[in-house]
């Protein structure tokens, strides 16, 4: 399951530890994201997938270990340099997070107006170009409330690539989409990644769709990487944890029941009270 040795890393996570209150999320997490690749981060709910994106983007700081992006250690950057690095990262949120009081055009233009001094005529052309890429140039005057879920996700994608980032991070980009909209978004992630020479990190539960576009896959669990490899590697492995998740099996190493005392003891305790 080794990645091709020629792949240059854009993101490197080493010996990462992170906890919320007393609950450990990561312990000795190690992974790399190759430049120009579509890398999928999969795993069950609560395994820290979205938290990992926050650590890569510098919104959270690790308790131990390092996160390096484009040769810079994120946790050690001064505020000004961190913000400069973030401008080179796009983010597509699960909720799309469009600004409800702005129309589609202004949502995509927003990062350009905030972070550049481009003339208005150039911003106009760039916004139309980004919307054309996601097939929604004709929807530029609509407001978020007038969009379907799939359209909202595509507008959010146009906004995520507004500043021509080196990397886009996707947080559950397929959640809540109908099959056609999902197929469109899946296709766009791969095509835009290649056409714009970007790197993509896709956090998702949707194994089948992700495996059609991912170059490399990491499966997280118990605070670490349980398995990694190409989609083909992951599908043919005999590891029980991987087979259970990739196949969506209800029985396996990931238990159905949350840890608890024996059921009869619990009933007896309730009776005594």
Q: What is the per-residue pLDDT across 198-232, written as a single tens digit (0 to 9) for each?
A: 999 999 888 888 889 999 999 998 889 999 999 99
Structural domain of residue 40, as residue ranges?
9-237
216-221 and 224-229 strand pairing? antiparallel
44 occurs within a structural domain:
yes
Per-residue pLDDT band at 175 (split at 50, 70, 90) = confident
Using DSSP's 3-state secondary structure scheme, residue 257 falls into coil
For the stretch 122-172, pLDDT in tens is 999 999 999 999 999 999 999 999 999 999 999 999 999 999 999 999 999
Question: Alpha-carbon distance 134 to 147, whole Å?
Answer: 14
65 occurs within a structural domain:
yes
Question: Alpha-carbon distance 69 to 67, whole Å?
Answer: 7
- Report which DSSP code applies to 41: E
Q: How many Cα atoms sit within 13 Å of 249 on the Cβ side?
A: 13
81 occurs within a structural domain:
yes
pLDDT at residue 1 in the model: 44
Does residue 58 have a pLDDT over 60?
A: yes
Question: Alpha-carbon distance 167 to 255, whole Å?
Answer: 35
Question: Alpha-carbon distance 173 to 179, whole Å?
Answer: 13
Question: Alpha-carbon distance 152 to 192, whole Å?
Answer: 17
Q: Which residues pair with 53 in a beta bridge?
A: none
What is the number of structural domains in the chain? Answer: 1
Which pTM value belongs to this model? 0.87
Per-residue pLDDT band at 37 (split at 50, 70, 90) = very high
For the stretch 181-203, pLDDT in tens is 999 999 999 999 999 999 999 99
Question: Alpha-carbon distance 260 to 42, whole Å?
Answer: 26
Residue of 98, 9, 20 whose CA lies nearest to 56: 9
2 occurs within a structural domain:
no
157 occurs within a structural domain:
yes
Using DSSP's 3-state secondary structure scheme, residue 266 falls into helix
pLDDT at residue 107 in the model: 97
For the stretch 87-115, pLDDT in tens is 999 999 888 899 999 999 999 999 999 99
pLDDT at residue 213 in the model: 95
Which structure tokens are listed for 238? Answer: 């005999």
Using DSSP's 3-state secondary structure scheme, residue 181 falls into helix
Does residue 5 have a pLDDT over 90?
A: no
pLDDT at residue 241 in the model: 73
Does residue 3 have a pLDDT over 60?
A: no
DSSP string, 124-135: HHHHHHHHHHTT
Task: Note the residue count of the chain.
Answer: 273
Among 14-23, 206-215, 240-249, whose mean pLDDT is lowest?
A: 240-249
Mean pLDDT, to the nearest integer, of 223-246? Answer: 83
CATH at residue 193: 3.40.50.300
- The answer to whether 131 and 137 are in contact (CB under 8 A) is yes
pLDDT at residue 258 in the model: 66
Mean pLDDT of the chain: 89
197 occurs within a structural domain:
yes
Backbone φ, ψ for residue 226 (5° rounding): -80, -40
139 occurs within a structural domain:
yes
Question: Alpha-carbon distance 8 to 125, whole Å?
Answer: 33
256 occurs within a structural domain:
no
Does residue 244 have a pLDDT over 80?
A: no
Run of H or E residues at 31: strand 23-34
pLDDT at residue 230 in the model: 94
């Amino acid at each position: 399951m080794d990645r091709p040795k020629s792949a240059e890393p854009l993101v490197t996570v080493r010996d990462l530890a992170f906890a919320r209150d007393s609950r450990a999320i990561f312990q000795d997490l190690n992974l790399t994201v190759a430049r120009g690749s579509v890398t999928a981060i999969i795993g069950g709910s609560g395994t820290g997938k979205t938290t990992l994106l926050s650590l890569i983007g510098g919104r959270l700081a690790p308790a131990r270990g390092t996160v390096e992006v484009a040769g810079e250690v994120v946790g050690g950057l001064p505020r000004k340099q961190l913000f400069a690095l973030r401008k080179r990262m796009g983010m597509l949120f699960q909720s799309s997070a469009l600004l409800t009081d702005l129309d589609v055009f202004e949502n995509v233009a927003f990062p350009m107006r905030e972070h550049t001094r481009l003339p208005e005529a150039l911003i106009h052309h760039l916004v139309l170009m980004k919307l054309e890429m996601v097939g929604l140039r004709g929807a530029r005057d609509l407001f978020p409330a007038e969009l379907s879920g799939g359209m909202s996700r595509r507008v959010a994608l146009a906004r995520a690539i507004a500043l021509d980032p080196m990397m886009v991070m996707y947080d559950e980009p397929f959640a809540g989409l109908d099959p056609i909209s999902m197929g469109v978004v899946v296709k766009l992630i791969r095509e835009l990644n290649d056409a714009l020479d970007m790197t993509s990190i896709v956090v998702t539960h949707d194994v089948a769709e992700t495996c059609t576009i991912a170059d490399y896959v990491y499966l997280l669990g118990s605070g670490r990487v349980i398995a990694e490899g190409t989609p083909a590697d992951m599908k043919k492995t005999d590891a029980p944890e991987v087979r259970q998740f990739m196949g969506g099996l209800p029985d396996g190493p990931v238990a159905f029941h949350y840890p608890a005392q024996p059921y009869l003891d619990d009933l007896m305790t309730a009776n005594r009270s």
